[in-house]
Structure 1
Amino acid sequence: MGKMDLEKVLDLAIAEELAAHGLYKELASKVKDQAAKDTLLFLAGEELSHKDLLLAYREGRLEAQGLGMKESVDARIVESFGTPEWDPGWGLKEIFLAAARKEQISHEFYVELAARHPAGAVRELLLKLAREELSHKERMEYLYANTAFPQTDGG
């Protein structure tokens, strides 16, 4: 696959944010634990705000500096963005683990995109998104650990 222009990469990132939003909403409707449900609904909202920021960036509503839409971005980033085939038979621990991996991929995407920008508001925005995705990964790993290794009466 060589290179993709930035607009295609941003379109893919927007689609991934929407997919993550849908995933978190669906998971929230299935979990019984209120803390897990609240976390998933919070993350769903975060993914929508990321989509809005990416749309604003793509449409030129953010600071004018940065990459032009004709700049190429190495597709190795995009290759890692594939959405896994979700198995309806997965339990919560598998879902939380897969979601953590998705958040890691999103984090890496934003870090790589930020590295291609000069210092300034757009770069800082992309680094902020990267930090938020890493925070989401941490939350998914926490939910995974609590689901896969529940606390027992013995400690």
Structure 2
Amino acid sequence: MKSYAMDEIIQRAIGKEEEVSSLYQDLSRRITDPATRNLLKELSGEELKHKERLQDFQRRKADIGLGIKSLEDKRISDFLEKPVINKYADAKDVMLAAIKDEEDTRVFYVSWAEFIIENEDVAGLLKKLGEEELKHKARLEERYKQVFSPEN
């Protein structure tokens, strides 16, 4: 079992936010629909705001301990298939990839928040970010429904 330090968890979260923000910028360049393109750009900016919140938290709380449970990395996510986005991907694939990334990021935050047992500040931040990722996912799903299921 591996025990994780606060800095390691926050660094992973920062990396996740950077990754998703970059993905949304890339995906926005592939979309021809202006409303979807704008949504992806807006979400990219929100992911960068999450990164800034994490960095600010890291600066303010650099010397506190997490008090987290030891956990074994079962590496289940290694077996999950991530949508392939390449130059041939269509708008539907792009939207599905964005939805999947929001869900993955939400699960990342919620999972880590469950293991924090002594530091309510860290757990609260991670839970809040998980809630925000769920809101992003809902917005993407709504847009997906509008574009690809207009009869609903």
Tell me the TM-score range normalised by the shorter chain.
0.7 to 0.9
Asked whether 1:80 is paired with 2:77, we answer yes
Aligned to 1:32: 32
Question: Deviation string for 1:43-90 (max 9, x for gaps)?
Answer: 101111222233344x4523865516x9755424x6527893423211
- What TM-score results when the alignment is normalised by the length of structure 1? 0.75
Percent identity (aligned): 32
CA RMSD of aligned residues (A): 3.0
Cα pair 1:63 1:121 within 8 Å, conserved: no
Cα pair 2:99 2:137 within 8 Å, conserved: yes
Deviation at 1:121, TM superposition (A): 2.5
SS for the counterpart of 2:61 is coil
Cα pair 1:92 1:147 within 8 Å, conserved: no
Unaligned runs of 5+ in 2: none
**Equivalent AA in structure 1 for residue 31 of structure 2:** V
Question: Deviation string for 1:116-140 (max 9, x for gaps)?
Answer: 2236322221111000011111122
Deviation at 1:34, TM superposition (A): 2.8
Does the C-alpha gap of structure 1 residues 74 and 146 become closer, same or farther in structure 2, counting only changes over 3 Å?
Answer: farther
Pairing 1:1-150 to 2, within 5 Å after superposition: 3=2, 5-6=4-5, 7-57=7-57, 59-62=58-61, 65-67=64-66, 72-76=70-74, 79-80=76-77, 84=82, 85-117=84-116, 118=118, 120-150=120-150
**Equivalent AA in structure 2 for residue 80 of structure 1:** S
Query: What is the rounded CA distance, in whole Å, between the counterparts of 1:83 and 1:25 in structure 2?
Result: 22
Cα pair 2:28 2:36 within 8 Å, conserved: yes
SS for the counterpart of 1:88 is coil
Does the C-alpha gap of structure 1 residues 63 and 125 become closer, same or farther in structure 2, counting only changes over 3 Å?
Answer: farther
Does the C-alpha gap of structure 1 residues 136 and 55 become closer, same or farther in structure 2, counting only changes over 3 Å?
Answer: same
- What TM-score results when the alignment is normalised by the length of structure 2? 0.76
Deviation at 1:148, TM superposition (A): 2.3
What count of residue pairs does the alignment treat as equivalent? 148
